[in-house]
Amino acid sequence: MANDRNLVPQAFGALSGVRIVSTGTNIAQPFAASLAAEIGAEVIQIEPPRQGDPYRTSGMKVEAGEGHWVGSNWIQERRNMFCVTLDPARGPELLMRLLERADIWMESSPPGLWDKLGLDDETVLKRNPRLVIARVSGLGRTHSDHVEGSDHDSIAQAFGGMMANVGFPDPQPPGRAMPYIADYMTALCTLWSSLAALIHVRAGGKGQAIDVAKYEVVHKHLGPTMIEFFQRGAIAQRGGNKSPGAQPLDTFRAKDQWLMIAALREQYGRLCKLLGLDPGEPKWQHAAWHVNSPEGLEFDALFRDWVARRTADEVLRELGEIGVPCSKIMSSSECAENPHYQARAMHIQWQDGQAGTVKGIAAVPKFSATPATIWRGAPALGQDNQLIYGDLLGLSQSEIDALRRDGVI
């Protein structure tokens, strides 16, 4: 007999009772499901039989015993999930039965793939009218010239317009933001839009499909870039780390380390006084907002020299005393050792079923009444086949064995 109880052993978090079926691979879509799992959702991640999600071996190798290893990306980003194996081409009805019991289906695939398997929007929503479907792709489901790899993070950054704005001016090449910023932004968009649609369902509305195009998510985050083009014909240019319209907002080199410093408006005035300059003098008032003018370049040179003659800690102390925002450009080791990170418990330990005790990034953000919990490490391939197919769907042992023998799971 099928059992629709929540499979999470102990309810917790703001999304307790929400069931998500996730069928994508790598980062963008599964990371959306991962975020939901950390705040209480029951997430069933579906992987191809035998080889599994390639993300299992992504990142640095971590020992998993008996000569095996698992990728660091998998350990960090598949916590709290249930993992089952399934070849949808051989078992589309099995996936449909899971979707009938789900609140949200998150998937990422070339447009049209699921239609060929009879899992198009109309058919799925007929079987479960309350289901929210989030379909993630690189270029969108319509008018798409999809080719293999067009959903890659770097392609989304390039086609979405971000890469033209990242990096230093010509002749330096455009840069790409790391790590995989288009994927992670898409994950956030996928999750919030799925939850918005779920709120609509629970308010009496119907289920629906959401078309999440990775390049559109990137493009949406370009700020006023397109307004400036359409209204003024202005094309954004790469400027490195330096703000084009105010200073100092840039990276600066101290004796021993790079820093990021941002001193705008009244903070700029305090910095002028620190340098022995009169912030009321027209020359320095002009320099604040015209960074590439002779006055602006003179101020920049004076301030860079001031920073270069001090250690990073000295700069932090002196700028902190006058209320000017400044940060070291933090490495992994500095993040791990930083007292602020430690005070806010930003790094935690948990038990991973394959790698044992591991330490990594905690769940964020922090909820006051419904806190996140890491109750389970990233599961092994097919670890939950028996639980999901047997307990949740009610398949007999002989049926499960037959599915495994036939390569369906």
Q: How are strands ordered across the β-sheet holding 258-262?
A: 249-253, 258-262, 326-328
- Class of the CATH-defined domain 19-221+346-405: alpha beta
Span 329-374, pLDDT tens digits: 999 999 999 999 999 999 999 999 899 999 999 999 999 999 999 9
Superfamily of domain 249-333: formyl-coa transferase, domain 3 (3.30.1540.10)
Output the tens digit of pLDDT for each of the chain's 409 residues.
567 788 999 999 999 999 999 999 999 999 999 999 999 999 999 999 988 999 999 989 888 777 788 999 999 999 999 999 999 999 999 999 999 999 999 999 887 889 999 999 999 999 999 999 999 999 998 876 666 667 889 999 999 999 999 999 999 999 999 889 999 999 999 999 999 999 999 999 999 999 999 999 999 999 999 999 999 999 988 989 999 889 999 999 999 999 999 998 999 999 999 999 999 999 999 999 999 999 999 999 999 999 999 999 999 999 999 999 999 999 999 999 999 999 999 999 999 989 999 999 999 999 999 999 999 999 999 999 999 999 999 999 999 999 999 999 9
Q: Which residues are bridge partners to 347 per DSSP?
A: 361
Domain range annotation of the chain: 19-221+346-405, 249-333
> Do the domains at 19-221+346-405 and 249-333 have one common CATH topology?
no
Span 305-338, pLDDT tens digits: 999 999 999 999 999 999 999 999 999 999 999 9
